[in-house]
């Protein structure tokens, strides 16, 4: 197993893997339809999308977390 200190990078890896998979498939089908070689087209697009998505998520995630913190209310400790 991977040590917890690498949590952010592991999260970015799996998020990039899943999002690039879904988005590249949807965009490939949207652009070319369900053609006979859609699997090849999609896998080629997925590889490229993942190569872009992984470093992008590692750079953008901290900014997104700061934005989330700005728009969410602080929890009150009044119970």
Per-residue pLDDT tens for 29-77?
999 999 999 999 999 999 999 999 999 999 999 999 999 999 998 887 7
Output the pTM of the full model. 0.82
- Pair of tokens at residue 49: 């999308």
CA–CA gap between residue 73 and residue 34 (Å, rounded): 45
CA–CA gap between residue 35 and residue 74 (Å, rounded): 50
Query: Per the domain annotation, does 23 fall within a domain?
Result: yes
- pLDDT in the model for residue 74: 84
CA–CA gap between residue 18 and residue 54 (Å, rounded): 11
Number of structural domains the chain divides into: 1
Start-to-end CA span in the chain (Å): 39
Query: Per the domain annotation, does 63 fall within a domain?
Result: yes
- pLDDT in the model for residue 77: 76
| Domain that includes residue 65, residue range | 4-71
């Amino acid at each position: 197993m991977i040590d917890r200190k690498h949590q952010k990078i592991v999260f970015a890896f799996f998020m990039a893997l899943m999002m690039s998979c879904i988005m590249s498939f949807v965009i490939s089908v949207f652009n070319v339809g369900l053609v006979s070689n859609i699997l090849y087209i999609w896998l080629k697009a997925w590889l490229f999308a993942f190569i872009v998505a992984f470093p992008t998520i590692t750079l953008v995630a901290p900014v997104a977390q700061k934005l989330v913190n700005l728009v969410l209310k602080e929890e009150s400790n009044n119970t």
